[in-house]
Amino acid sequence: MQFVLEYFLRFQENLPGTYYISPSFRGEDPDATHLNQFYHVECELLGDMDNAMATAERYLAHLTKSMLKKHSDIILNTAGTLKHVTDMVSKLDGRTALPRVPLDQAIPMMPSAECVEWVQEGQPQFGRKLTRKGERFLIEKYGGAVWLTEMDHLGVPFYQAYVEGTGRCKAKAADLLLGLGETVGLGERHSTPEMVQEALRHHAVPEQSYKWYINMRQVKPLLTSGWGMGTERYLCWLLQHDDIRDIHIIPRMKGMKYMP
């Protein structure tokens, strides 16, 4: 669906952005911070990663102010406080961008080995990532919300652009850590077909499966960036709840049958 948004941006000249709200269905095992089926907002925008991050923050501000205005009683009754919401609105209303920390700077801050792990166990070539414990540590350190940036490139999908000057090591990608952990995932895309082909080779992904994605850039090269926000993860932060499996209106956990 993200690729479709990239395609839609090319339908109309100078279209600033496009978006959808949709469920995703995955075969992963759910846990307290992750669902195998969930709702999310996804958008793709003209411009670089900084533009996308600014738009994501404006969206978060608008959504949170709306929730505070319309549903403050529910939030207060469930979370027991409105402070985290008013603090977030105050931060974002100040027109000051949320803090950003590259992965390589975040890792030395971690208080224990349980905060960092390999992207793929036993295969260090794919790089490192923060565990949920590491994400929570960073959230607390930066007062409730922080962008984690410049992940190891083999640890993210091939379609994220490379950070210049890193020798293909780092990705122009960012996760907004909030509440349970990553709540918004964001990245800048490769703008030319040659960049996509290089990334596919780097990630050992067969090019044949992505011919149309490459050709799209040959027909109309664009610099775009996009992000997605997990609805249930946002609601966990809003309601200060620690188990995302409780947020479903109709539970839909892997391997289990539910009736409305």
| pLDDT above 90 for 94 | no
Which tokens go with 121?
Answer: 């166990």
- Write the pLDDT tens digit of every residue in 170-223: 999 999 999 999 999 999 999 999 999 999 999 999 999 999 999 999 999 999
Q: Which two tokens stand for residue 105?
A: 């700077």
| CA distance linking residue 216 with residue 235, whole number of Å | 36
Q: Which residues contact 168 (CB under 8 A, 6 or more apart)?
A: 153, 162, 198, 202
CA–CA separation, 98 vs 116, rounded Å?
23
Q: Averaged over 213-238, what is the pLDDT?
A: 96
Nearest alpha-carbon partner for 236 in 198, 182, 194 = 182
- Containing 66, the helix (H) or strand (E) segment is helix 49-79
Whether 234 is in a domain gets the answer: yes
Q: Is 47 left (phi over 0), alpha (psi -120 to 50) or beta?
A: left
Listing DSSP states for 16-61 in one string gives: -EEEEEEEEE--SPPBTTB-SEEEEEEEEEES-HHHHHHHHHHHHH
User: What's the full length of the chain, in residues?
Assistant: 260
As a whole number, the mean pLDDT across the chain is: 94
What local confidence, expressed as pLDDT, does residue 1 receive? 84
Task: Tally the domains of the chain.
Answer: 1
Q: What is the pLDDT of residue 260?
A: 66
Which pLDDT band, with edges at 50, 70 and 90, does 255 fall under?
Answer: confident
Domain that holds residue 221: 2-246
DSSP helix/strand/coil, 252: coil
What is the per-residue pLDDT across 134-155, written as a single tens digit (0 to 9) for each?
Answer: 999 999 999 999 999 999 999 9
Taking CA atoms, 195 is separated from 59, 189, 190, 206, in Å, by: 30, 9, 6, 15
Note the pTM of the prediction, 2 decimals: 0.94
Would residue 253 count as lying in a domain? Answer: no
Whether 252 is covered by a domain: the verdict is no
* C-beta of residue 102 within 8 angstroms of C-beta of residue 127: no
Please indicate, yes or no, if residue 257 is contained in any of the structural domains.
no
> What CATH number corresponds to the domain at position 228?
3.30.930.10
Query: Residue 152 pairs with which residues in a beta bridge?
Result: 170
User: Per-residue pLDDT for 129 more than 70?
Assistant: yes
Given a contact cutoff of 8 angstroms between Cβ atoms, the answer to whether 230 and 26 are in contact is no
pLDDT value at residue 18: 96
DSSP H helix total and E strand total for the chain:
8, 9
pLDDT tens-digit profile of 16-73? Answer: 999 999 999 988 899 999 999 999 999 999 999 999 999 999 999 999 999 999 999 9
**What is the pLDDT confidence band of residue 101, given thresholds at 50, 70 and 90?**
very high
**What pLDDT, on the 0 to 100 scale, is given for residue 69?**
97
In a domain, 107, yes or no: yes
The pLDDT score that the predictor gives to residue 242 is 96
Phi, psi of 56 (to 5 degrees): -60, -40
Higher per-residue pLDDT: 252 or 79: 79
| Percent over 90 (pLDDT), the chain | 87
* pLDDT tier for residue 160 given thresholds of 50, 70 and 90: very high
Tell whether the model's pLDDT for residue 14 goes beyond 90: no
- Give dist(CA 42, CA 49) in Å, integer: 15
Q: What is the model's pLDDT at position 31? A: 93
